[in-house]
C-alpha cells in the first residue's frame, strides 16, 4: 500500500484526504503546523458550482441547511452612492444538485473533518526538509523523520514545501493590497453585494440563515518591505481603523458602526507556476498557485486541484500539472481583470466601465465564456 504525506490541513489537504478515505488502496497522514484548527471563526467562503459538484461526492448535501446560503445574484453597486450598476444571475449556472453556496469557513472545515479519523492528523508538525532517495524522507521541526511514497503539499500561500524545493523563488509576492475582513449582522439582502470604489472594493454576502454576513474589502496599499514583514502592523488597531475610515469616507454604506470582529492582513499572490522535479511530489491549492482574491475561486480551485491529483494517482496517469496550468491561466487572467475593473478611479474610466458592466452582465455568450467555462467545467 502506497503511503501519502499531506502537508497542511486546509481546504485542499482535507478534501484530498476525504477522497483517499473512499479509496482504501492508499494510506495517508496529514501534517499540520498549527496546534489545532480554528472551528469558531465567523468569516465566510464562497463556493461556486464547480466545487459544489465535487463536494457533493463526499456528502456535502448532508450539511445543515441553516448553516449555508444559496445567493442567486451578484449585485454591483457604486460604493460612493450605493447606486446599483447591474447584476449577474449566478443561478443560471446552477443545476438541480449543485448551487452556488456561501457559508462560514469554520463550518466548512468542520464538514471536511467529519470523515477523517483524528489520528490521521498530526498537529504541531512543521516540515523542515525533504530528502528524495528511494522513497521520500520528511524531517519535521520536532526532529521526527518519516518515510513516504508521495508528498502532497497543501500548505497554503506561504508553502514551506515550496520554499524547501525552490528556495527564494518559492516565496509569494505582495499584491500591493490589504484585506479587511469582518462580520455584519441582520441585513435583509441574501444575494452577494459588490461595492466598487476608487482603489478598493468590498463584498458583503450571507453565510447562513441566521442573518450573519461576511464583509471583505480589498484595498490598494503600497507598503515598504519592513511594513510587509511587520506582522504587528496588521494587528494594530489604529492601522486597521485608518483603513476602515479610508473606505468608509468614500462610500455611503455605514461600515464603521456595522462591522464586527474586523481583521486585516496583507495579500500575497504567486509569482509564477512552479513544478517540482520529483515525480512523487505534488503542489496543490494555494501552494500550487495563489490568485488575486477578486474572483472568489481560491477555495474552489483548491478542491478541483485535489480532485484532479487524486484521479491522476488512482488512474496512474500524469495529466495533473497539464490540466492545472491551463486552469490556473484561465482563473488568473479573470481574477486580474476583475481586480483592475473593480478598482478603477478615473471618473471617465468608471463611466465607461459601468456601461460595459451593464452590457456584459446580461450578455449570455460573454457570461458563458467568462463564468460558465469555470463554473460548469
**Contact (Cβ atoms closer than 8 angstroms) between residue 173 and residue 161:** no
Tell me whether residue 79 or residue 154 sits nearer to ligand FAD (CB atom): 154
- In the chain the first and final C-alpha atoms are separated, in Å, by 32
Cβ–Cβ contacts within 10 Å for residue 189, how many?
Answer: 13
193 binds ligand FAD (CB under 6 A): no
C-alpha to C-alpha distance for 204 and 191, rounded to whole angstroms: 9
Shortest Å distance, C-beta 344 to ligand FAD:
20
Of the candidates 222, 297, 352, 220, the one whose C-alpha atom is nearest the C-alpha of residue 11 is: 297
Give Cα 57 distance to the centre of its chain: 20
Shortest Å distance, C-beta 85 to ligand FAD:
21
Return the residue of 156, 172, 206, 266 that touches ligand FAD, per CB under 6 A: 156
Shortest Å distance, C-beta 81 to ligand FAD:
25
Tell me whether residue 36 or residue 363 sits nearer to ligand FAD (CB atom): 36
93 to 122: interface string for ligand FAD, x by CB under 6 A: ------------------------------
331 binds ligand FAD (CB under 6 A): no
138 binds ligand FAD (CB under 6 A): no
Residue 47 phi, psi dihedral angles, 5° rounding: -125, 120
Q: Is 224 helix (H, G, I), strand (E, B) or coil?
A: coil
Shortest Å distance, C-beta 255 to ligand FAD:
16
Starting from the edge strand earliest in sequence, which strands make up the sheet with 44-47, in order? 44-47, 101-104, 68-69
Interacting span for ligand FAD (CB under 6 A) from 167-175, 229-237, 289-297, 315-323: 289-297
Residues 7-26, interacting with ligand FAD (CB under 6 A): 7-13
73 binds ligand FAD (CB under 6 A): no
290 to 309: interface string for ligand FAD, x by CB under 6 A: ---x--xxxxx-x-------
C-alpha to C-alpha distance for 246 and 240, rounded to whole angstroms: 10
DSSP-assigned letters across all residues of 139-173: EETTS-EEEESEEEE---TT-HHHHHHHGGGGS-E
Shortest Å distance, C-beta 288 to ligand FAD:
8
Binding site residues, ligand FAD, CB under 6 A:
7-13, 31-34, 45-46, 125-127, 154-156, 160, 179, 216, 267, 285-287, 293, 296-300, 302
Amino acid at each position: 500500500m502506497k503511503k501519502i504525506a499531506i502537508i497542511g490541513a486546509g481546504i485542499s489537504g482535507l478534501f484530498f484526504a476525504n477522497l483517499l478515505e473512499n479509496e482504501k488502496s492508499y494510506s495517508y497522514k496529514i501534517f499540520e503546523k498549527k496546534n489545532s484548527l480554528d472551528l469558531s471563526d465567523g468569516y465566510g467562503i464562497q463556493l461556486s458550482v464547480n466545487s459544489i459538484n465535487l463536494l457533493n461526492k463526499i456528502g456535502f448535501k448532508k450539511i445543515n441547511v441553516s448553516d449555508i446560503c444559496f445567493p442567486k445574484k451578484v449585485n454591483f453597486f457604486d460604493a460612493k452612492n450605493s447606486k446599483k450598476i447591474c447584476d449577474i444571475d449566478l443561478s443560471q449556472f446552477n443545476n438541480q444538485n449543485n448551487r452556488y453556496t456561501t457559508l462560514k469557513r469554520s463550518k466548512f472545515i468542520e464538514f471536511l473533518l467529519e470523515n477523517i479519523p483524528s489520528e490521521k492528523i498530526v498537529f504541531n508538525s512543521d516540515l523542515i526538509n525533504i530528502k528524495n532517495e528511494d522513497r521520500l524522507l520528511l524531517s519535521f521541526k520536532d526532529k521526527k523523520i518519516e518515510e513516504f511514497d508521495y508528498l502532497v503539499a497543501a500548505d497554503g500561500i506561504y508553502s514551506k514545501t515550496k520554499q524547501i524545493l525552490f528556495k527564494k523563488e518559492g516565496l509569494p509576492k505582495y499584491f500591493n493590497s490589504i484585506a479587511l475582513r469582518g462580520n455584519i449582522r441582520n441585513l435583509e439582502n441574501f444575494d452577494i453585494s459588490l461595492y466598487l470604489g476608487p482603489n478598493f472594493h468590498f463584498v458583503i454576502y450571507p453565510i447562513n440563515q441566521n442573518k450573519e454576513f461576511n464583509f471583505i474589502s480589498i484595498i490598494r496599499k503600497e507598503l515598504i518591505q519592513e511594513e510587509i514583514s511587520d506582522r504587528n502592523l496588521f494587528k494594530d488597531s489604529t492601522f486597521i481603523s485608518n483603513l476602515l475610515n479610508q473606505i468608509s469616507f468614500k462610500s455611503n454604506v455605514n461600515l464603521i458602526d456595522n462591522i464586527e470582529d474586523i481583521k486585516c492582513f496583507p495579500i500575497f499572490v504567486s509569482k509564477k507556476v512552479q513544478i517540482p522535479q520529483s515525480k512523487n511530489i505534488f503542489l496543490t491549492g494555494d501552494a500550487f498557485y495563489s490568485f488575486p482574491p477578486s474572483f472568489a475561486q481560491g477555495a474552489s480551485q483548491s478542491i478541483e486541484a485535489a480532485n484532479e491529483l487524486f484521479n491522476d494517482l488512482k488512474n496512474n496517469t500524469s495529466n495533473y500539472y497539464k490540466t492545472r496550468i491551463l486552469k490556473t491561466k484561465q482563473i488568473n487572467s479573470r481574477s486580474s481583470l476583475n481586480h483592475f475593473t473593480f478598482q478603477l478611479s478615473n471618473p471617465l474610466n468608471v463611466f465607461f466601465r459601468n456601461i460595459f458592466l451593464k452590457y456584459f452582465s446580461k450578455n449570455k455568450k460573454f457570461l458563458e465564456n467568462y463564468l460558465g467555462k469555470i463554473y460548469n467545467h
